[in-house]
Structure 1
């Protein structure tokens, strides 16, 4: 893919509209996460973590505490404290499921899973209807485009993480 300077490129109206729609989706999704927080009576960071744990389990790849820390942008120490709260509240369990007994995976409890499902049943109807009403070719095109956008953002994030800080800090 050719290198593009985002500041000097002449953007088409369609390209600008896509970026605005992606921003609006991210903001609306963040608001839904805050809604889950209120629904579950949890701090936003805890609800976000619980959502990631549920999502990972549903995708068939349960997440580790270190993976969760990376995913939610917290240190492993802060994530451990957050997981202690979720575990004490009965929302999460830490399991040693693999043959490597040092590897811990996180799973939602049945109660947390059920409450998450109640939230989705209440708050997810419009999103589910929109996805279900899309034509297969539209879904494939959106999926491919979003996968490329996710890979591009991940690449930018990796470059940022590897970049030395300009203020001389660690």
Structure 2
């Protein structure tokens, strides 16, 4: 992957348009998640978490609470409270894995799966139709491109996380606290 300074590079119209369309997709997808929240009577943050649990479970790789926390950008304590709310609402359960009883995974309930299927049946028609109407070559090209963009964004997120951790460690070592004049 080339090392490009985004502020110094000259961008062509197609590159700019792609970034705008990716942003538009992210905004539209976020709006769909908010609608899912309304559909299942949950706040957006809870609906987002429920969606993450559903997707992971469908992929055959159920999430632990710690994995969920990383995916939704919350602390482990806040995620624990969120999972408690999802459990109380009848959407998820905590399971101990049979091989390692210490490992807890999150599983959706039949109620949550049914509500999600009803939501997808109502709201997913256009997306499903677009996917089915797209030629296989175009889908593979889009998949390869989105994979590269995800890899690049993940690398940037890791660099930012390391920087944040390093900055917090430096402040701690210096006795400086965020928000405190020193």
Which category describes the TM-score, using the shorter chain as reference length? over 0.9
Counterpart residue number, 1:33: 33
- Measured after TM superposition, the shift of residue 101 of structure 1 is 0.4
1:94 deviates by 0.4
Is 1:9 the counterpart of 2:9? The answer is: yes
Number of equivalent positions: 170
- In the other structure, the counterpart of 1:23 is 23
Question: Could you say which residue in structure 2 is the equivalent of 1:44?
Answer: 44
Q: Give 1:144 deviation, angstroms.
A: 0.4
C-alpha deviation, 1:97, in angstroms = 2.0
1:165 is matched with 167
Cα RMSD after superposing both structures: 1.4
Q: Deviations over 1:74-117 (max 9, x none)?
A: 00000000000110111001001241100001010001000001
Show structure 1 runs of 5+ residues with no match: none
Specify every segment of 5 or more residues in structure 2 that has no aligned partner in the other structure, as ranges: 172-176
2:93 is aligned with 1:93? yes
SS at match of 1:107: strand
TM-score calculated relative to the size of structure 2: 0.90
| SS of equivalent to 2:167 | coil
1:133-165 Cα offsets, whole Å, 9 max, x none, are 000000000000000000100000000000033
Task: State the Cα deviation string for residues 19-55 of structure 1 (Å, max 9, x = none).
Answer: 0000000000000000001111101111000000000
Superposed, 1:32-111 pairs within 5 Å as 32-111=32-111
Q: Following superposition, which runs of at least 4 residues in structure 1 exceed 3 angstroms of deviation?
A: 164-170
Distance (whole Å) between structure 2 residues aligned to residue 13 and residue 165 of structure 1 = 37
Name the SS of the counterpart of 1:165 in structure 2: helix
Shift of 1:60: 1.0
- After superposition, where does 1:113-132 map in structure 2 within 5 Å? 113-132=113-132
